Amino acid sequence: MRIIHCAPFNIVTKIGGALYANPVKISQGLVENNHFVHNFDYRDTARYYSFFKNKKGGVNKMNQLFLECVEAINPELIIFGHAELIAEETFYTLKRKNIKLILWYNDMIIEEHLKKVGHLFDMVLITGAGQILQEVKTFNPNAFFLPNPVNHNVERHQGFTKLQTHDLLFSGRKDNERTKFIQLIQENLRTLDIKFIGQTHDQTVIGEPYFQLIADSKVCLNHSRDAYRYNKWYTSDRLMHILGNGSFCLSRTIIDGEDFFEDKLVYYDDFEDMRLKTLYYLENTQERIQKTQWLHKRVHTLFNTKSISGYIIHLLEQNHKELCQYLWWEK
């Protein structure tokens, strides 16, 4: 199939992040399934055509160029990631061409733009199920869960085989909730070798150095915001970065996460629970490594890019026979 993938690929603005960005992985999986994929980065294109190099100034030119790209390539399918800068009229133009349209979305806050144009897609995919998926179904009944993918050439480390340097890794953007949590870590786990990344510009680590930090850390925290924790199966793609690179993860609870991870993924409820479990698994190396090895194999088996992109195409084709192989597929 000939496909255009219109998404934020971070080609210019976050060069290192392009290593593990979901758009890159989805396109990679489509190629692994023998499709042709042309990547169109709508955000960077809009910035390029803006006098002030911001997204807003170049939106009209970006939409025009995108439609020219569609004319030139003549795709059977266009996959959009987020697509908040794509004009409503652009979607209607594509519908008139009878091109299949899919949108994927990996935020747990539904923006007004999505509510306005969501009905125009043949299918909407979102990285949470339960409550958030039901909300999407109010404007597009063809809405489905989409797992975050991994790829063995991207998440290529096996941290469990290394002599890891750091005891604990905390990564995530700074907000009031995380700031308080970080303070508790600093005050109560002073004897540990702890790395904090992502809270300030100076602490930002992306690309391969970020993955090397994960692989070099004995315990990595997957600390999702409170507001994001109440949707079935939802977690940040950080979880796939940790497990895919073979390091031990302590995670905030993932609703029904045992559907995929059985009892191997260890959860914590609050700071004290996290503190005690961190100390326990630092002390019990063999148990930590056994869980890590199982989870590493699990995510690369269930959520590899070829499988996830194959799932997207099988959904589009309504191929129920093939869809039955995916643990997360719900009729």
* Amino acid 10: pLDDT: 85
The two tokens of residue 215 are 């692989």
In a domain, 329, yes or no: no
In a domain, 242, yes or no: yes
Q: Which of 46-60, 92-106, 173-187 has the highest mean pLDDT?
A: 92-106
Based on C-alpha coordinates, what's the Rg of the chain?
20
Closest CA relative to residue 302, chosen from 142, 102, 149, 117:
149
Same-domain pairing of 209 and 93: no
Encode pLDDT of 123-164 as tens digits.
Answer: 999 999 999 999 999 999 999 999 999 999 999 999 999 999
Q: Is the pLDDT of residue 55 over 90?
A: no
In a domain, 42, yes or no: yes
Mean pLDDT of the chain: 96
The two tokens of residue 113 are 């733009």
Same-domain pairing of 260 and 211: yes
Q: Is the pLDDT of residue 62 over 90?
A: yes
Same-domain pairing of 176 and 265: yes
Q: Is the pLDDT of residue 9 over 80?
A: yes
8 Å CB contact between 165 and 193: yes
* Amino acid 287: pLDDT: 99
At residue 199 the predicted structure's pLDDT band, cuts being 50, 70 and 90, is confident
At residue 229 the predicted structure's pLDDT band, cuts being 50, 70 and 90, is confident
Number of independent structural domains in the chain: 2
Q: Is the pLDDT of residue 226 over 90?
A: no
Q: Is the pLDDT of residue 224 over 90?
A: no
Q: What share of the chain is helix, strand, coil (3-state, %, to 5)?
A: 45, 15, 40
Torsion of CA 107, 291, 244, 276, to 10 degrees: 50
Same-domain pairing of 129 and 232: no
Q: Which domain holds residue 196?
A: 159-302
Same-domain pairing of 203 and 313: no
In a domain, 165, yes or no: yes
Prediction pTM value = 0.96
Whichever domain contains 193, its CATH number is 3.40.50.2000
Q: How far apart are CA 238 and CA 223, in angstroms?
A: 9
The two tokens of residue 50 are 């803006």
Q: How far apart are CA 180 and CA 319, in angstroms?
A: 47
* Amino acid 51: pLDDT: 83
Same-domain pairing of 119 and 184: no
Q: Is the pLDDT of residue 331 over 80?
A: no
Torsion of CA 167, 163, 203, 171, to 10 degrees: -60
User: What do you get for the CA distance between the two ends of the chain, in Å?
Assistant: 25
Sheet holding 248-252, edge to edge: 194-197, 166-171, 217-222, 248-252, 266-268
Mean pLDDT of all residues in 195-200:
91
Q: How far apart are CA 270 and CA 285, in angstroms?
A: 23
In a domain, 17, yes or no: yes
Same-domain pairing of 295 and 312: no
In a domain, 154, yes or no: no
* Amino acid 327: pLDDT: 97
Encode pLDDT of 110-124 as tens digits.
Answer: 999 999 999 999 999
Question: Where would I find the beta strands (DSSP E) of 18-131?
Answer: 36-40, 77-81, 100-105, 123-126
130-134 own/partner pairs: CB under 8 Å, 24+ apart: 130/230, 130/231, 130/232, 130/233, 130/234, 130/255, 131/230, 131/231, 131/232, 132/108, 132/231, 132/234, 133/231, 133/232
What's phi and psi for 193, nearest 5 deg?
-85, 105
